[in-house]
Amino acid sequence: MPNHVELILCTCPDRDTSEKIALRLVEARLAACVNILPGLTSVYTWQDRLETAEEHLLLIKSTRDCYPLIERTIRDLHPYDLPEIIALPIAQGLPDYLNWIDACVSTN
């Protein structure tokens, strides 16, 4: 079972940005799958001000080797000055699913 698969989280301001990033990542074989979860409310501090925003959350399934290119792609397409991009290792999962993720992505 691959132990280098990751779940990468990224919030986006709208559906169009979310879909553009998701399609680019999957088409480039940087992600096996990207789920778009609308209706997320984020509460945060930005430039010393309390902010609230309605956002979409991307759940990006990929591998550690693809992370640098995923980060670059998101930064190129994302309108935020400081987009949320967080990678979490997947410690366990259905072996066939984790192998599918591994087979779908490519850093070449």
The order of strands in the sheet holding 33-46 is 33-46, 49-63, 5-12, 86-89
Q: What are the chain's domains?
A: 5-104 (3.30.70.120)
Q: List pLDDT tens digits, range 8-30.
A: 999 999 999 999 999 999 999 99
Query: Residue 58 is which amino acid?
Result: L
Cα separations (Å) of 19 from 23, 30, 38, 40, 73? Answer: 6, 15, 11, 15, 13
Q: List pLDDT tens digits, range 27-82.
A: 999 999 999 999 999 999 999 999 999 999 999 999 999 999 999 999 999 999 99
Residue 72 contacts residue 52 (beta carbons within 8 Å)? no
Residue 2 clears pLDDT 60, i.e. is over it: no
